[in-house]
Structure 1
Amino acid sequence: MGIENESRITMARLSELPSGTREVIDSACERTGARHVFLTLARHPQLAVRYVRFGLELLGDGVMDDRQRELVILRVAWLCRSDYEWGHHVRLGKRCGLRARDISRIPQGPGHPGWSAEDAAMLTAVDELVHRRCVSPDTWHLLARGWDEKKLIEFLVLVGHYVTLAGLLNSIDIAREPGVEGFQAPAGKATEEPNEAGSWPTPFR
């Protein structure tokens, strides 16, 4: 969502939250910079605390390496048309070692020749999960050659989590914070085409 949109659910005020919820939400905002989504989630304090802790566990304490995790999230964001998710994870991805050329080819998908075999298999699995809700046997075999069971499970949960988050962001119309960039038209052919108006992916509204 762009920074100019009015969200369907108004953000909570940090000062009005119960103390336990306030501490969790404030810490998440400081850690990620994603204040708008966390303060919106805080409209449901009990759920927000559990959900935010779960998300931060995936974000910082998982078994996937940081670079691969951010590639996965950015591909999900692109496929799900979540420019909020995209903008924040471009920033986080750069901190984790993603280069500009890595980010620029994410819209072109796993078929881009610049990916390693492992990255291509991982991005193929993302596409299969988003579009078909199941990793194909061939793709699973490629991943399982180098990943243990913990990493395979975490990957599946990671994709599902960020698909869910993209749906929440798009449906509530949560606006990006000032300074957080949204989608940019990619160099080369993307696996998803611009819409009839010629603009790049936006949710269905």
Structure 2
Amino acid sequence: MRRAESRPVRLAPVAVEDRTERMRELLARATRSRPREVNIYSTLVRRPELFGKWLDLAHALLFDGTLSARDRELLVLRTAWNCESEYEWAQHVGFARRGGITEDEIDAVRRGPHDAVWDERSALLLAAADQVHDRATMDDAVWDGLGKHFDDDLRYEIVMVVGIYHMVAMMLNTFGVQLDPELPR
């Protein structure tokens, strides 16, 4: 995976003194579940009208979605790995641990859906993340396999999670968002 610091900073976080009232409101909402502000938010807030809408969707999937934390974080980590987004990976390793994903499984996410550590359900989630990333669709075998474990609403959410975190990875990588000091390298 390409290290975040090796990417040039193209869009720096908005400095505190340059923030509008709307930016401050959005950042307060974005960081309500965090002890401090993170670089992704202070960078993306530069376009408050877009950031607010993105934040609504991201928070809906992260906090209000119906996928389990484990299932969601397997999708996010695999998407981060596929997109070579060190920032996204580093941010979500903690979420993954809190969602019940073991250290061995976190390591196995890098190797993909065919690693021996995975049960059928987890392997299908990783395969879904791979296929949506690689092809912008899923083949029938993965879609139908997911149907053994997830109803249509959850399969919808699976695609949404991969899609939004793919977009996030593209922004992080393109803008050169640097790792926050507390994130592991």
**Identity across the alignment (%):** 27
- Name 2:159's counterpart in structure 1: 156
Aligned pairs (5 A) from 1:92-171: 92-171=95-174
Q: TM-score, normalised by structure 1?
A: 0.83
Aligned pairs (5 A) from 1:185-204: none
How many residues end up aligned between the 2 structures? 182
> Residues 26 and 82 (structure 1 numbering): CA distance in 2 closer, same or farther, change over 3 Å?
same
Q: In the TM superposition, what whole-angstrom CA distance separates every residue of 1:88-109 from its partner, at most 9, and x where no partner exists?
A: 0001111121111110111110
**CA RMSD after TM alignment:** 1.7
Question: Is 1:21 aligned with 2:6?
Answer: no
CA distance in 2, matches of 1:34, 1:85: 15
How far the C-alpha of 1:45 sits from its partner, in A, is 1.0
CA distance in 2, matches of 1:119, 1:106: 10
Q: In the TM superposition, what whole-angstrom CA distance separates every residue of 1:3-53 from its partner, at most 9, and x where no partner exists?
A: 576521121134543434322212323424561111111111111111112
CA distance in 2, matches of 1:13, 1:29: 16
- Name 2:55's counterpart in structure 1: 52
- Name 1:12's counterpart in structure 2: 14
CA distance in 2, matches of 1:27, 1:14: 16
* Paired residues of 1:121 and 1:142 also in contact (CA < 8 A): yes
One-letter amino acid of the counterpart of residue 74, structure 1: L
Q: Give unpaired runs (5+ residues) of structure 2.
A: none
CA distance in 1, matches of 2:161, 2:91: 16
Q: Give unpaired runs (5+ residues) of structure 1.
A: 183-205
- Name 1:38's counterpart in structure 2: 41
